[in-house]
Amino acid sequence: MSTAALPRRRVLARIRTSRAPLNLLCLAFVALVVALAVLAPWLVPHDPNAVDLGNALGGPSADHLLGVDASGRDTLSRLITGARTSLLGPLGVVVFSTLAGVAVGVVSAWRGGWLDSVLSRGTELIFAFPGMLLAILVVSLYGEGLTAPVLALAVAYLPYVSRLTRSLVLAERERPYVAAYQVQGHSAWQICLRHVVPAIAPVVLAQSTINFGYALIDLAGLSFLGLGVPALTPDWGRMVFDGESAIQSGYPLSAILPCAAIVLTVVAFNVVGERWADQVARRDR
């Protein structure tokens, strides 16, 4: 017996299999961060806002496992509690932009005509406007609080979802099964909600998972600039900002750790999202 077909891209294939360690690791990390955020109140060893100036800039110790920041607050407790705000913000962005983006995309693809033109031009207009700038503008108008930057970023992310949805729906509605439902007498809404949206959902959700990572970076950037998240609320971006002075005094831990948390979480969400998108693409083939 001879194996006739040439083995192709075996290395690539191994990286892409679902049991690849990288994917599992990222999935585990995402789960860990989410669990920390949910269980934060029961997990934190100290009140994240308790000031202990006598201990300020202390290194890791039995009492403070990851040390203490310049204001004498426990870094571990702030990291864990900070996961809540840091995840809740992007979650809001993703939920809102996905729901609104899918609605806009489906309507403009299905109705077509002038409505499609209006919606597409509108979303392109948003595209042309940098999301961060929009968020800064909104925050400067409405002041502190998470709601304003989340809504602003959601609007900024909406075009990504709506454009993807629109192209997917355009492709899906050309498939004969949609015509079959029309001939059967189903209304356009029934066909859309029962068949077309479920068909495109996995691809859109995979894209939204990737958006989650970007939104996390954007929000962390905003709170690093001191915008959005109120000063006392523990938040990773805010922690990096607070840790700046600590770095200058030669004590980087309280700034580096939230940095690492941000980067790792974003990478983990991107890997999981890409992987999911890959799986969906393969299943559809």
Partner 1 sequence: MNTPDRPPAPPLDIRGLRLRLPRTARPVLDGVDLTVGAGETVALVGESGSGKTLTSRSVLRLLPTGAATEGTVRVAGDDVLAMDPEQLRHLRTGTAAMIFQDPRAAINPLRRIGDFLTESLRLNTATPPAEATRRASTLLEAVGLTDAALRRYPGQLSGGMLQRVMIAAALMGEPALLLADEPTTALDVTTQAEVVSLLGDLRERFGTGLLFVTHDLGLAAAISDRVYVMYAGRIAETGPADALFSRPRHPYTAALLGSTPRLDAPPGRLVAIDGQPPGLQVELAGCPFAPRCGYATDLCRDQAPAARPLPGDPARLVACHHSDRLEGSALDG
Partner 2 sequence: MDEVDQSVGATSATPVLQVSGLHRTYGAVRAVDDVSFALAAGGSLGIVGESGSGKTTTARIIVGLEQADTGRVSVNGRERTGRGRGRAHRLARAREVQLVFQDPYLSLDPRTPVGAVLREALRLHFPGADHTSRVAELLDQVGLGERSADALPRQLSGGQRQRVAIARALAVEPAVLVLDEAVAALDVSVQAQILNLLADIREQTGVGYLFITHDLGVVRCVTEQVIVMRQGRIVESGPTARVLADPQHPYTRLLLESVPRPGWDPRAIAAARRALRQA
**Residues in 71-90 at the binding interface with partner 1, rule: CB under 8 A:** none
Q: Verify binding: residue 4, partner 1, rule CB under 8 A.
A: yes
C-alpha 199, offset from chain centre: 22
Nearer residue to partner 1 within complex by CB, 8 or 121 = 8
The correct pick among 3, 17, 19, 174 for binding partner 1 (CB under 8 A) is 3
The correct pick among 198, 244, 256, 281 for binding partner 2 (CB under 8 A) is 198
- β-bridge partners, 68: 74
Query: Residue 66 corresponds to which tokens in the numbers above?
Result: 């990851």
Rounded CA Rg of the chain: 23
Among 99-107, 181-189, 231-239, 264-272, which window interacts with partner 2 (CB under 8 A)? 181-189
Name which of 38, 51, 26 is nearest 80 in CA terms. Answer: 38
Question: Under the phi-then-psi rule, with left for phi > 0, alpha for psi from -120 to 50, and beta for the rest, what region is 64?
Answer: beta
Distance CA 77, CA 64 (A): 9
How many chain residues are in contact with partner 2, going by CB under 8 A?
A: 16
The correct pick among 93, 199, 220, 257 for binding partner 2 (CB under 8 A) is 199
Helix H or strand E encompassing 167: helix 147-173
**Which amino acid would we find at residue 22?**
L
HEC string of 30-59 equals HHHHHHHHHHHHHHCCCCCCCCCHHHCCCC
**Residues in 7-36 at the binding interface with partner 1, rule: CB under 8 A:** 7-8
Among 4-12, 84-92, 141-149, 233-241, which window interacts with partner 1 (CB under 8 A)? 4-12
Nearer residue to partner 1 within complex by CB, 1 or 232 = 1
Please report, for residues 15, 64, 82, the alpha-carbon distance to residue 39 in angstroms, rounded to integers and kept in the order given.
Answer: 33, 19, 12
Nearer residue to partner 1 within complex by CB, 133 or 281 = 281
Among 85-93, 171-179, 214-222, 268-276, which window interacts with partner 2 (CB under 8 A)? 171-179
**CA–CA–CA angle 161, 163, 164 (5° rounding):** 65
Distance CA 210, CA 218 (A): 13
Among partner 2, partner 1, none, residue 199 binds (CB under 5-8 Å by kind): partner 2
Q: Verify binding: residue 5, partner 1, rule CB under 8 A.
A: yes
Residue with tokens 């050309």: 174
Nearer residue to partner 2 within complex by CB, 59 or 198 = 198
Q: Verify binding: residue 54, partner 2, rule CB under 8 A.
A: no
Among 13-21, 120-128, 175-183, 216-224, which window interacts with partner 2 (CB under 8 A)? 175-183
Interface residues toward partner 1, by CB under 8 A: 1-8
Interface residues toward partner 2, by CB under 8 A: 175-177, 179-187, 194-195, 198-199
